[in-house]
Structure 1
C-alpha cells in the first residue's frame, strides 16, 4: 500500500501546483477593497487564503477565519462560484465534519467538474481511504478534463512499475481502456524492474498501444539490458513476416534492433535512406558509429558493406560482442571493412552487439564516407 500512497502523492502534487501559484500571486495583491469585488473574484481570493503544504503523499490544508468568511460571502452572492466551496470544505474537514466536507466536494464537482481545487480534496479523500480503484477513476476524470496534463498524470504510474505489487491494479485499469492509456505506454521506465513490469503488462494488454509505443518499449528494453525480452517483444509486435531471425536491420527504425547511431562533435552516423549512411570522423579521432542487437545460433556469419570512397573501408571496423559481456579485444571479434568480415557465434551466447567504429588517425583529413548495401547473414 506504500506504493499506492506514493502514486496518490505524485498526483496530488501535479494538481496542487496551480493552487500554490495562485496562492502566492493573490497574497501579493490583496487589499481592503474585497467588499467591492463580485462573487467570482471573492471566491478566487478566498481560495488563495487556503494554506497548502505538501510532504510526500500528505497534503495539509488550512484556512483562516477571513478566508472562510470571504468564501461564504462569495457563494451567497454568486451560487456558481464553485471555488468558494473549496475553503469552506477545508474548514469543515479541519473541524471534524468530514462527512459534510465530502458532501460539499461532491456537490461542487457536480456544479463544476473542472474545478482543480475540489479535485485536490477528492484525491485527498481517495488517498485517505487507500482506494486504488478510486484513484484510477479520478485519473481518468482529470485526463478528460485536462488533456495537456495527461503526460504528467501517468508519470507516477510509470514509477509504480518498480513495485510488482502495483502491476495487477494497473493492468485492471488499462483493460478498461482509460483515456490515459496511450500516454502511459509511451512513458517507458528506465529501471530494469520497471521495464520488466511494463513488458509483462504489454504481453497481456493491448488497450492504448500503438506502433510508436511498441517501438519505444523495444528501445527501452534493449538499452536497459533486457535483451531476451527485447527480441520476444520484437517477434510478437514489430517484426514483419520477412524479418530475419537474427534481427539484423540495415535501417534504424526499431533501434537497437537496427542501428542505434552515434552523433557527437567528432563522430556522426547519419541515415540517408535506402539503408545508406553518411559517416564522419574528425581527423585524429576515433569512436563508435553505431550498434545493433543481433540474435545468433551457433555458426559462422558474414558482414558485408560497400564503402564510398573504397579507400576509406580500411578505416572502418565491424565488431561482434556478446551482449552484456565486457567489450574488450579478448572478448569480441573485430575486422575492417576492406573485405568481408566473418564471425563465429558461440553456443555460450545467443544475443550479440554488432558494432561499427571508425578512425581517422591515418587519413589526410577527416573521414567522410558513405556506407551502403549492408548485409549480415549466416554462412552456409
Structure 2
C-alpha cells in the first residue's frame, strides 16, 4: 500500500469507527422479542451490535464475536437484503483472509444489492484505498455523501489530513476535478496547521471545482492565520476579481482578511450599517482593535480619512498601520479628527490597517459612527 492509501485508510477508519460503535451500541439496547429474533433485518442489527472496535497506536480494528457471526448468517438466510448481516460477514472474512477474494465477493454483492448501506460503504472505502484504487474510493465516498449528507464531515477531515503526503495532491486534484458532492465541504474545512493550509493552497491552485467566494475567502484567512501573507496576497491577486484598484483598501463589504475583519464582543464591536458606514461601541474602561484588514502596499506615503459622528468621539478612535510580518511591530497610531498620513517602507509588503477604540476615560463608554472611510496613496 502506498503512503497516500495508508493515510486515507487509517484516517477514514478512525473517523468512521465512532459512528459504527455508536450505532452498534444503539442496536444492542433494543428490546428482544419473538418478532425481533425472527425478522432478518432485526437479527442483522443485533449481529452488528456484536462487533468490537479496538484502537491500538492509531489503528482501528473491527472484530466479530462468534455468536454475532452465527446471528448474521441466520439473518442473511432469512433476509438476503439485510445489509448489516453482509457487513458483519465481510468483517469476519477480512479478519480470516485479509484482502482475500471472499471479502471482495461479499462486498461486491452487498453493494450491488444495498448501495445505501453506510457500513458496507465504509468497508469499500477502506478496501479500495488499500489497493490504491482511488477512482472507486472516491466514487463510494461521493455516493455515501449523497445518501447521508450528515456524514460528509466525517469523510472530509481525514482527506484534509491526507494532504500531508506529497502524492496526495495528485490524488485529491483528480478526485475534486469531478466536482463531487463533498467538494465545497472540503474547501470549507481549512486547517489551522501552517503546513496543511499551505498544501491546501497548492491544491487550490490546481483545482477550481467546488470553490466559490466564501471558500476562497476562508482559505485566504487560513493562509493569513498561518502567517503565509505572501501566499494570501498572491491568491487574492490571482482570482477573477483580482486586487481592487489602488491600495486594495475596502471601505465597506469585502471578505476578511481583504476587507474589514470586525470585532463583535461584549467589550467592543464594529457593526456595518449599509451605506451609512459602521456603528462602533467600546465598553467603559476598555480599549482595543475594532476592525482590521490586510493591505499589500508599495513604499510611499498614504492618507486615511473618515467621518466620525459625533465629532467629539474622534479623539477616542485611532488608526494604526503596522507591518503584518514583523513580530512585535507597534506600527504607527494616530487619532481621528483630521486626514492622517502614514509612511510605508520597502521592508514590509503586507500591512495591517486597524481601527482602534479607547473608552478608558468615558463614563458611558464610546458609541459613534464611522463613515466615508478612505485609504489611498498621497498625491
Q: Tell me if both proteins adopt one fold, taking TM over 0.5 as the criterion.
A: yes
Equivalent positions of 1:42-81 (< 5 A) are 42-55=43-56, 58-81=59-82
Q: Corresponding residue for 2:131?
A: 129
Q: Does 1:120 align with 2:119?
A: no
Give the superposition deviation at 1:355.
Answer: 1.2
Give the superposition deviation at 1:132.
Answer: 4.1
Gap runs ≥5 in structure 1: none
Alpha-carbon distance in structure 2 between the residues aligned to 1:140 and 1:29: 31
Alpha-carbon distance in structure 1 between the residues aligned to 2:36 and 2:378: 88
Question: Residue 5 of structure 2 contacts residue 130 of structure 2 at CA under 8 Å; is this kept in 1?
Answer: no
Question: Residue 41 of structure 2 contacts residue 79 of structure 2 at CA under 8 Å; is this kept in 1?
Answer: yes
Q: Corresponding residue for 1:346?
A: 345
Aligned pair count reads 377
Q: Corresponding residue for 1:99?
A: 101
Report the CA distance shift for 1:245/1:171 in structure 2 as closer, same or farther (over 3 A).
farther
Residue from 220, 223, 245 that aligns with 1:221? 223
Query: Cα RMSD over matched residues?
Result: 2.4
Question: Residue 186 of structure 1 contacts residue 216 of structure 1 at CA under 8 Å; is this kept in 2?
Answer: yes
Equivalent positions of 1:150-299 (< 5 A) are 150-237=152-239, 239=241, 243-274=244-275, 276-299=277-300
Give the superposition deviation at 1:92.
Answer: 2.8
Alpha-carbon distance in structure 1 between the residues aligned to 2:57 and 2:142: 22
Q: Does 1:144 align with 2:146?
A: yes
Alpha-carbon distance in structure 1 between the residues aligned to 2:22 and 2:183: 29
Gap runs ≥5 in structure 2: none
Give the superposition deviation at 1:107.
Answer: 0.4
Give the superposition deviation at 1:368.
Answer: 0.7
1:225 partner SS: coil
Alpha-carbon distance in structure 1 between the residues aligned to 2:145 and 2:213: 22
Give the superposition deviation at 1:352.
Answer: 0.8
1:59 partner SS: strand
1:161 partner SS: helix
Q: Corresponding residue for 1:25?
A: 26
Q: Corresponding residue for 1:337?
A: 336
1:294 partner SS: strand
Alpha-carbon distance in structure 1 between the residues aligned to 2:276 and 2:199: 34
Question: Residue 267 of structure 2 contacts residue 283 of structure 2 at CA under 8 Å; is this kept in 1?
Answer: yes
Report the CA distance shift for 1:300/1:134 in structure 2 as closer, same or farther (over 3 A).
same
Alpha-carbon distance in structure 1 between the residues aligned to 2:130 and 2:111: 19
Question: Residue 293 of structure 2 contacts residue 353 of structure 2 at CA under 8 Å; is this kept in 1?
Answer: yes
2:255 partner SS: coil
Question: Residue 221 of structure 1 contacts residue 229 of structure 1 at CA under 8 Å; is this kept in 2?
Answer: yes
Give the superposition deviation at 1:31.
Answer: 5.2
1:282-310 deviation digits (Å, cap 9, x = unpaired)? 12221111111111111110000000010
Alpha-carbon distance in structure 1 between the residues aligned to 2:153 and 2:309: 45
1:4-33 deviation digits (Å, cap 9, x = unpaired)? 423322322343433212322333456585
Q: Name the TM-score, length of structure 2 as normaliser.
A: 0.91
Question: Residue 250 of structure 2 contacts residue 259 of structure 2 at CA under 8 Å; is this kept in 1?
Answer: yes
Give the superposition deviation at 1:345.
Answer: 0.8
Structure 1, 124-133 or 298-307: larger mean CA deviation: 124-133
Structure 1, 320-329 or 283-292: larger mean CA deviation: 320-329
Give the superposition deviation at 1:35.
Answer: 7.9
Report the CA distance shift for 1:335/1:238 in structure 2 as closer, same or farther (over 3 A).
farther
Question: Residue 318 of structure 2 contacts residue 355 of structure 2 at CA under 8 Å; is this kept in 1?
Answer: yes
Question: Residue 313 of structure 1 contacts residue 337 of structure 1 at CA under 8 Å; is this kept in 2?
Answer: yes
Give the superposition deviation at 1:84.
Answer: 1.6
Question: Residue 281 of structure 2 contacts residue 365 of structure 2 at CA under 8 Å; is this kept in 1?
Answer: yes
